Amino acid sequence: MTDKNGVYELYDVPPGRYVLVPGLKFKWKVDEFHLTRPPTRLEMMQGRRPSNRVAFSLRPRSHFGIDIRLRLSNHVSGTVYDSNSKSMHWVCVTLVPANEEGSPICNDLTDELGRFRIDSVEAGDYVILLTYENKTTTGMPFPKHYYPGVTEREKATTITVKHGESVINLTAVIKR
C-alpha cells in the first residue's frame, strides 16, 4: 500500500522478472510509468503499449524504482456545426469552471468532422467555450460562443461532470 504521499517501498525482494499492477480506485488509469534506471529492451517493448501494468527485472544486489502518474479515465466530447449543419474544423473548445471567469486555454481543437474530446476532466460544473476571442478573423469567422450555441455566457448550458463519468455526444451549433 502507498502511504499518504503516494510512496511505496518493498524490501528483500529476490532478483528476477516482475510485473507491477497497481490497484487503482474507480475510474483512474495509469497515464505513464517512469523507471529509475534505463529500461531493458524487453521493458522498452512493453512500454510502447498503453497499459496499467509495467514489467521490469530486478538485478542482484540492486534497487529499482517506478514512478506512476495517474489520470482520470473520463472525458467530455461532442461535435461543433455551423447553422447549415456543416461540421466546423479547428474550433478551439475550452471547458471553463461554471463559477469562474479565469483565463481560458484551448483544451482541444475540433477535427475535420467537427469532433472534440477533452480527457481527464475533474468532477465539477462547466460551461463550454467555443473560441475565446470575441472577434472574427479569417480563420475564425464568428465571435465567442458557448455551448449549445449562444453568444452570452448567462445563456450557456452548464455541463456537470461527475467523478468517473464521461459526458458524450454534445452538439453545439455556431450561428454566423
Tens digits of residue pLDDT in 129-154: 987 555 555 555 677 889 999 989 99
Residue 84 has pLDDT above 80, yes or no: yes
For residues 9-32, give the mean pLDDT.
83
Check whether 110 has a pLDDT greater than 70. yes
Q: Which 3 state secondary structure label does DSSP give 150? A: strand
Domain 75-174, CATH number (from 1.10.20.140, 1.10.530.10, 2.60.40.1120, 1.25.40.10): 2.60.40.1120
Reported pTM: 0.68
Chain segment 43-64, per-residue pLDDT in tens: 666 655 556 778 788 888 888 8
Supply the pLDDT for residue 108: 93
**Alpha carbon distances (Å) from 6 to 2, 9, 18, 32, 144:** 5, 10, 21, 15, 41
Q: Give domain limits for the chain.
A: 16-72, 75-174
Residue 17: predicted pLDDT: 87
C-alpha distances in Å from residue 65, one per residue of 3, 7, 13, 41, 44: 16, 11, 13, 17, 16
What is d(CA 31, CA 51) in angstroms, rounded to the nearest whole number? Answer: 9
Specify the DSSP class assigned to residue 42: H
